[in-house]
Chains A and B, each alone.
Chain A
């Protein structure tokens, strides 16, 4: 099946620093990737839709200047949490769908961010 990787898998940072999370589709091209956030024992909350070569579309309530998304190629999207604060601590998961295919989304393993 289609494989999506995320890096890093876990990151701990100090308050005020910025953290970049990478999402890669390893064996397929993805014109669209999605970024989700998940709190413990809660479902996934869509943050933004990342389109290759264009600006990301953010969900209501998600600060685009806080969560910078770049989708520079068909296999890579990055999420940068700028000036991170403890309330940004969460599990961040990306997904990608096959270019030209049905809407089966394949998820990365997630990145656990802890802001001290």
Chain B
């Protein structure tokens, strides 16, 4: 079993839809959870960063972490065509300067 599992998609939704992206993980030592957005041929851009369980909201984006289920989610409200990208979840055990473990990424297309 891989440490981090993420459905690669592709996921196609109409503009304005609510998008739900998810990752599961097997290592209960992970404490720090991140979501990155990557446009084609570009470096990943940090979207959300959360520590331990709970929710975090930033504009149209909400990140949820459920450590008891080893499950994290990213919700995108009122999705826009500009949200079309690959979304990668990432996590780590420790803070400060430790490698991240990434999911495979989910390709999202938002259709106008």
Contacts and interface: CB of A to CB of B under 8 A. Distances in A.
Bin the interface of chain B by size: 20 to 34
Contact of A108 (B32, B43, B46, B103): B43
B32 A102 contact: yes
B32 A109 contact: no
Given A93-B44, A108-B43, A109-B42, A103 B104 contact: no
Interface residues of A, number: 28
B88 A43 contact: yes
A34 B42 contact: no
Contact of B102 (A44, A49, A91, A100): A44
A109 B43 contact: yes
Interface-centre pick from A49, A102, A108 (highest chain B CB count, 10 A): A102
Interface of A: 1, 4, 6, 31-32, 34, 41-44, 46, 49, 91, 93, 95, 97, 100-110, 112
9 nearest A-B residue pairs (beta carbon): A32-B97, A107-B43, A43-B104, A109-B43, A110-B43, A107-B44, A102-B95, A103-B95, A43-B102
